[in-house]
Amino acid sequence: MPIIINLDVMLAKRKMSLTELSEKVGVTMANLSVLKTGKAKAVRFSTLEAICKALDCQPGDILEYQQDE
């Protein structure tokens, strides 16, 4: 998949657990886990905005495009 999700990297940089993030953004642990593992097919802008706000980051810190070789 050419879109890489770096949620685990940002969580580590902010020293925040997935549980903490879940509580701050109001998204279930299960849904965040699907996103974190890269298995999500889509993400709502409202969810992305809430994650960025909670982690004090930009969407580009979480989402990365990697061209297929």
- Show the low-confidence residues of the chain (pLDDT under 70): 1
Distances (CA, A) of 23 to 4, 20, 39: 24, 5, 21
Residue 12 has a pLDDT of 97
Residue 67 has a pLDDT of 87
Are 35 and 8 within 8 A, CB to CB?
A: no
Residue 69 has a pLDDT of 73
The residue behind tokens 């940089």 is 13
